[in-house]
Amino acid sequence: MAQEMSHKTDGKQNLYQVALKQLDYVAKLIDLDPGIHEILKYPKRELTVNFPVRMDDGSYKVFTGYRVQHNLARGPAKGGIRYHPAVTLDEVRALAMFMTWKCAVMNLPYGGAKGGVICNPKILSSAELERLTRRYTTEISIIIGPNYDIPAPDLYTNPQVMSWIMDTYSMHVGHSVPAVVTGKPMCIGGSKGRLEATGRGCMIVTLEALKHLGVRLDETTVAVQGSGNVGGAAARLLSEVGCKVIAISDSQGGIYHPKGLDIPAVLKHKSETGGIVDMKNVDVISNEELLELDCTVLLPAALESQITEENAPRIKARVVTEGANGPTNPAADRILEDRKIFLVPDILANAGGVTVSYFEWVQDLQAFFWQENEVNERLTQIMTSSFAEVLATAQKYNTDMRTAAYVLAVDRVASAGLQRGIYP
């Protein structure tokens, strides 16, 4: 059952075809109205733009970019923009659909969108990136806006790129419009708590999973793959609430201590030296070994396709919290389910980021900014209620948490569509 529900493509499968198969699977499960099912298969809007950019050497280069809005039944569209050489329209379509489901499962008043530009940001200068961003923003400005479609960072786009988008859009309309994009720096309307929001969300749903399974925090051990934005914050916050984080890694490898690591010291070492594996008084392990450690919680927060049919039989954790997008392969999904390992799926586990993006948009619209504790309290409230709703759906349909998250999401989007009716 879980096989049909994973994000992962297992090879070169077209991601949009995978997304459509997932939708078909859920549609059958919830006996979805065939007309609504048909509507949800297609993105509402797709914009392809070919635009020139002046390079530093004076030459011109034409780039191709996309912005796809999958569904707007629940509100304006929300979703990131990625800069990558391998971006395709089908990938952007699929990711826009995932955003529709992710916003719906969190009950945010948004539809889903995604954007991308085919480029290699690693070989572009900062000035070239700025010109590319401003021209791409201009090209897609006919469909974005605070009430239409609100972009955010994704692969190889960051707060600086969001600032250029905000500035370009604002120049067009003649006044500052911070709410056109989220993930901005604080000085132009960013939100407190945004940087650690995804890791905090992972921590909150992990605590909910442990509560559900009746596991005490002081007997919980955690292994975290990745120590970046998501993994680093999740590890620190889980250690702060009393869990023992026994392992953490980066691209060079992992470190392990059975009594628990001093996570703030590990993160300080990483920011000072760029790595963690040369820390003193710890065992060095490989990323593969980390995944198979004897621990209560495994939190993959680095790359996709880390838990596969090969290593899934050896995973010892009771809970897997998917901090990364798509860290579990479809075949591995089934193995974990058979082994009764409780998996909190990415669409729920890492949705803390988009949730605080929503808070950023709300604050920008109101021009009234919240304290960090208010952001964190509201995030906790949304993460815990979404977890409870997904769990209740899993119990109602006697299914796994990933399938349940999709059931809940598709049902919410379908209800909005049915309630609104078809225009005219």
Rounded to 5 degrees, φ, ψ at 108 are: -85, 145
Question: Residue 198 Cβ, how far from ligand NAD at the closest point, in Å?
Answer: 4
Cis peptide before 424 (omega within 30 of 0): yes
Among 222, 353, 406, 414, contact with ligand NAD (rule: CB under 6 A): 353
Query: Does the footprint of ligand NAD cover residue 350 (CB under 6 A)?
Result: yes
Among 22, 168, 325, 376, contact with ligand NAD (rule: CB under 6 A): 325
Among 3, 107, 141, 229, contact with ligand NAD (rule: CB under 6 A): 229
Task: Tell how far CA 108 is from the center of its chain.
Answer: 14
In terms of CB distance, is 227 or 321 closer to ligand NAD? 227
Could you say which DSSP state residue 295 is in?
-
Q: In the block, which residue shows the tokens 């005490």?
A: 216
Number of residues counted as binding ligand NAD (CB under 6 A):
20
Burial of 309-337, coded b for 16+ CB within 10 Å and e otherwise, reads eeebeebebbbbbbbbbbbbbbbbbbbbb
In terms of CB distance, is 44 or 236 closer to ligand NAD? 236
Residues 248-287 touching ligand NAD, rule: CB under 6 A, are 249-251, 287
Residues β-bridged to residue 394: none
Question: Residue 156 Cβ, how far from ligand NAD at the closest point, in Å?
Answer: 10
Picking from 244, 221, 232, the residue whose alpha carbon sits closest to that of residue 195 is 232
Query: Does the footprint of ligand NAD cover residue 193 (CB under 6 A)?
Result: no
**Helix runs in 292-400, H state only:** 330-338, 346-349, 352-366, 372-397
Cα dihedral sign, 126-127-132-133:
positive
Question: Residue 233 Cβ, how far from ligand NAD at the closest point, in Å?
Answer: 8
Picking from 80, 108, 117, 106, the residue whose alpha carbon sits closest to that of residue 95 is 80
Picking from 110, 95, 100, 115, the residue whose alpha carbon sits closest to that of residue 47 is 115
**Three-state SS for 74?**
coil
Question: Residue 305 Cβ, how far from ligand NAD at the closest point, in Å?
Answer: 10
Of 8, 44, 78, 114, the catalytic one is 114
Are residues 155 and 114 in contact, defined by beta-carbon separation less than 8 angstroms? Answer: no
Query: Does the footprint of ligand NAD cover residue 322 (CB under 6 A)?
Result: no
Query: Does the footprint of ligand NAD cover residue 337 (CB under 6 A)?
Result: no
Query: Does the footprint of ligand NAD cover residue 190 (CB under 6 A)?
Result: no
In terms of CB distance, is 36 or 358 closer to ligand NAD? 358
- Kindly indicate which of the ranges 7-15, 50-58, 322-330, 371-379 contains the residues binding ligand NAD, using the contact rule CB under 6 A: 322-330
Cα dihedral sign, 77-159-355-154:
positive
Among 76, 79, 193, 226, contact with ligand NAD (rule: CB under 6 A): 226
In terms of CB distance, is 27 or 320 closer to ligand NAD? 320
Residues β-bridged to residue 365: none
- Specify the pairing of strand 244-250 against strand 253-256: antiparallel
One character per residue 372-401, x = contact with ligand NAD (rule: CB under 6 A)? ------------------------------
Active site residue 114: yes
In terms of CB distance, is 75 or 275 closer to ligand NAD? 275
Rounded to 5 degrees, φ, ψ at 181 are: -155, 150
Q: In the block, which residue shows the tokens 């009950």?
A: 107
Question: Residue 302 Cβ, how far from ligand NAD at the closest point, in Å?
Answer: 3
Q: In the block, which residue shows the tokens 């509507």?
A: 39
Q: Residue type at 121? A: P
- Kindly indicate which of the ranges 105-113, 125-133, 298-306, 405-413 contains the residues binding ligand NAD, using the contact rule CB under 6 A: 298-306
In terms of CB distance, is 312 or 347 closer to ligand NAD? 347
Query: Does the footprint of ligand NAD cover residue 230 (CB under 6 A)?
Result: yes
Query: Does the footprint of ligand NAD cover residue 225 (CB under 6 A)?
Result: yes
> Which residues make up the interface to ligand NAD (CB under 6 A)?
198, 225-231, 249-251, 287, 301-303, 323-325, 350, 353
The residues annotated as belonging to the active site are: 114
